[in-house]
A = this chain, B = another copy of it.
Amino acid sequence: MKPTTEQQLPHHLRQRIRQGDISSNTSGMAPGYVQCNLVVVPAQFAADFQSFCEQNPKPCPLLAHSLAPGDPSLPSLGADIDVRRDLPRYRRWELGHAVNEPDNLMDAWQDDHVAFALGCSFSFEEALLNAGLEIRHLSEDVNVPMYRTSLRCHSAGPFAATMVVSMRPMSPADAIEAIQISSHFPSVHGAPIHFGDPQAIGIANVDTPDFGDRVTVNKGEVPVFWACGVTPQVALEQAKLPLAFTHSPGCMLITDKTNKELSLD
């Protein structure tokens, strides 16, 4: 899967987002290219947040961060990237609460802000689709179901969280293939962390996700659970920083890096 037109290329999409022409979910845009979760924290918390990511690479696969406080570029992901305005929608956090969803961070950005870009499941989902596997929430055209679990992440400074996971129901044979494929993408959550009994990881009922939407689980299928990029948002809830920003769910940073570059193959 590759963009077939100039309009589908990452830098072009970023320009249109920057100009306010695109304000929607970026799912399915720039096929073949990596999209990222964004977290912005004040410099005094940056080392702890980086440590939190490094200790919890499955939910928080760190792909890039600001070269210096206040620097909104991420050149390793795209020469022209400006994290203040290249995402369609952001989420502003104050004292652990999401307070609003601005279109850009131009006014809010401060000279001590540090941006972190984390891998997202869109990359391995593309590889699963390319292998002919069905991804239920895509078939049903809803958001992936996500759940809070009892799996405790390693803490770093004020950052602590139990892991959030996403779920994709599959037959055992498809799950075995999906495990093999996603394990080749360690920088975008990698292999699943669990399958089968939801209660074993503290999920009471797969039909009532904490985030996203319910999907159908057919007879003979098992729920397969991957570490999820919503986990850092739970860490922000716990950390209660005076100010922080993330992307708004589904409104990701589209980068120039290809999914193929992230694969171990």
Decide: B176 and A180 in contact? CB cutoff 8 A: no
Contact B220 A195 (CB under 8 A): no
Q: Which of A173, A177, A179 has the most CB of B within 10 A?
A: A179
User: Once the chains bind, are B192 and A220 in contact (CB under 8 Å)?
Assistant: no
In the complex, which residue of chain B has the Cβ closest to the Cβ of A265? B264
Option from B183, B194, B220 in Cβ contact (under 8 Å) with A172: B194
- CB–CB A176/B196 < 8 A: no
From B172, B191, B197, A176 is in contact (CB under 8 Å) with B191
Within 8 A of B (CB), among A68-104: none
Shortest A236–chain B CB gap in Å is 27
The copy count of this chain in the complex is 2
Q: Scoring A residues 59 to 75 as 1 if CB is less than 8 Å from chain B, else 0, what string do you get? A: 00000000000000000
**Known: A176-B179, A179-B179, A183-B180. Contact between A220 and B197, CB under 8 A?**
yes
A190 (CB) vs chain B CBs: closest residue? B180
Smallest CB–CB gap between A216 and chain B, Å? Answer: 18
Cα of A195 to Cα of B183 in the assembled complex, Å: 18
B195 & A176 in contact (Cβ 8 Å cutoff): yes
Listed by A's residue number, 19 A-B pairs whose Cβ atoms lie within 8 Å are A172-B195, A172-B196, A172-B200, A173-B193, A173-B194, A175-B195, A176-B179, A176-B191, A176-B192, A176-B193, A176-B195, A177-B191, A179-B180, A180-B180, A180-B183, A180-B191, A183-B183, A195-B195, A197-B220
